[in-house]
Chains A and B, each alone.
Chain A
Amino acid sequence: MAEDRVERTVHIAAPAERVWDILTKPEHIGHWFGTGTPATVDLQPGGRFVFAGHGERYLARVVAVDPPRYLAYRWASAYPDVLADETNSTLVEFHVAADGAMTRLTVCESGFASLTIPAGRENFASHESHSRGWTEVMQGIVDYIDKGAS
């Protein structure tokens, strides 16, 4: 059964431990998440991640930590300054694994279908989509669903 999820993978020429540090160390998160502001990180289940990015601040909640292989947290991307819980957030999972001489990093964000967003932020889905053709739109959604199902 396909799920409502986005999955992305990148191969990195660095050890898994190095990738893990980038994912979890405050000074690094500050760089890859957007603004360069050091993030607050309480790296344990139930702990908080505080991200600053897209002009907002997000209070994520750590779900699982298994260094250097797996990190999961929930974040309420539609609710800046609100702590993520089961009803307002999506689940973000990072998988870190050796792949030959490289390290494979996969991120999966899931749970969009049951998400609600506050009034006034509903144009998260942009208007540019209306100018795109049917085939492209269809292919886009099929790709995401197929990725989620695999």
Chain B
Amino acid sequence: MTIPLLDHADELFAALAEPNRRLLLEHLGAHGAATATALAAELPVTRQAVAQHLAVLESVELVSSARAGRERRYTVHVEPLTAAASWMNQVAARWDARLAAIKALAESPE
């Protein structure tokens, strides 16, 4: 039996590959929940583009939304990122250790 390493991992990476979506995540992470209108005012993208990017982020559960008056407020969720980042960090750290060992071996007298 196997389970996915991360839920929707390929969609998660695709969602993160777009620079404006990363900007949105960073902004929501730094300043808390916000509406698409407020985010569009802070970032160099139209409200329509912000709404589309938020829909992509919501589809991979990096953000969630709740109705607030006539608009929806979006909140960031760190869990998918911590799982991905932790795993990639561990992979990278292991390669750093291996490359350091290769360097030491190559530079030592034969």
Contact = CB atoms under 8 A, between A and B. Distances in A.
Chain A contact patch, size range: 35 or more
Overall SS of chain B's interface: helix
Interface of A: 1-4, 6, 8-14, 18-19, 22-23, 28, 31-33, 78, 103, 105, 107, 109, 112-119, 122, 124-126, 128-130, 132, 134-135, 137-138, 140-142, 144-145, 149
B83 interface: yes
Overall SS of chain A's interface: mixed
B90 A125 contact: yes
A122 B5 contact: yes
Contacts of B107: 12-14
Interface of B: 1-6, 9-10, 12-13, 16-17, 22, 25-26, 29-30, 78, 81-92, 95-96, 98-103, 105-107, 110
A105 B86 contact: no
